[in-house]
Amino acid sequence: MKFVIGNWKMNGSRALLREMIQKMRDIKSENRAVLCVPFTMLDEKNDVVALGAQDVSTHERGAYTGEISASMLAEVGAKYVIVGHSERRMYHDETNDIVRDKATRALENGITPIICVGETMDEKRAGKTFDIITAAVRESVPSDVKDTIIIAYEPRWAIGAGITPTTAEIAEAHRVIADTLAYMGLDGTPILYGASVNSGNVGEITAIEHVDGVLVGGASLKPDEFVSIIHSAK
């Protein structure tokens, strides 16, 4: 079983979500599909695909205009939430500490956090990839985790760029993350790869050791393509 998780970002519509759910009805696959959609679509009840959010507040409640708490996400039926996506780290200055608080709130409310880590091109060029992702895993994962969490390795320079790291680079990064998680007593935690995944490369990527699934951006907005990715993840 591989995870195939779509991240719609600030795209899509209720109509597209309904079309996607229709298309997903005939899927014959053991893979677990999830769609992380904008907050306003999370209440679309269906028996085909689990829905998740793309962000959550670090706070439980209170005077935080515009924010959405984990208990509100749970109430509307969200089963997953992406935390620390590179776009949140980049445009909203989210640090590992903030990401850890968000993941903690999710777990407290029975929601599985999908914790994103990944290096920028500058960090990659400076040879810092493994230091960055090791620190991000250590600092972004809550202490005392008892329920499932998911880690997504997303090299920031490859997101939305149509390019992916080499198979060897993905394998090395995932091994470093798996070793870090094992050191933290969290072996077995699913580790997904994300950035420029499509139906043409997903088979090769999911065949790499320690790749337990994929986080898909752009290609998750095209129903036929997303269904094909779910079928092709092996």
**Among residues 213 and 217, whose Cβ is nearest to ligand PGA?**
217
**Among residues 69 and 87, whose Cβ is nearest to ligand PGA?**
87
Q: Does 7 bind ligand PGA (CB under 6 A)?
A: yes
Q: Which of 98, 78, 34 is nearest to 233 (CA)?
A: 34
Sequence-ordered list of residues with C-beta below 8 angstroms from that of 93, at least 6 positions apart, any chain: none
Binding flags for ligand PGA, 200-219, as an x/- string (CB under 6 A): ---------------xxxxx
Q: Which of 9, 2, 53, 11 is nearest to 29 (CA)?
A: 2
Alpha carbon distance 121, 143 (integer Å)? 29
- Of 195, 205, 229, 233, the one binding ligand PGA by CB under 6 A: 195
- Per the annotation, the verdict on 204 as an active-site residue is no
Q: Does 196 bind ligand PGA (CB under 6 A)?
A: yes
Under 8 Å between Cβ of 16 and 44: no
β-bridge mates for residue 193, sequence order = 153, 214
* CA dihedral sign of residues 51, 55, 56, 58: positive
- Per the annotation, the verdict on 85 as an active-site residue is yes
What are the C-alpha distances in Å from 202 to residues 37, 120, 165? 21, 22, 13
Catalytic residue among 85, 87, 119, 174: 85
Min dist CB 124 to ligand PGA, Å, is: 16
Q: Does 165 bind ligand PGA (CB under 6 A)?
A: no
* Range in contact with ligand PGA (rule: CB under 6 A) among 42-50, 66-74, 100-108, 154-162: 154-162
Q: Does 159 bind ligand PGA (CB under 6 A)?
A: yes
Residue 36 three-state SS: strand
Catalytic residue among 87, 94, 154, 210: 154
**Among residues 113 and 217, whose Cβ is nearest to ligand PGA?**
217
DSSP class of residue 230 equals: H
DSSP class of residue 2 equals: -
Which positions are annotated as active-site residues?
85, 154
Instruction: Provide the binding-site residues for ligand PGA, judged by CB under 6 A.
Output: 7, 154, 159-160, 194-197, 215-219
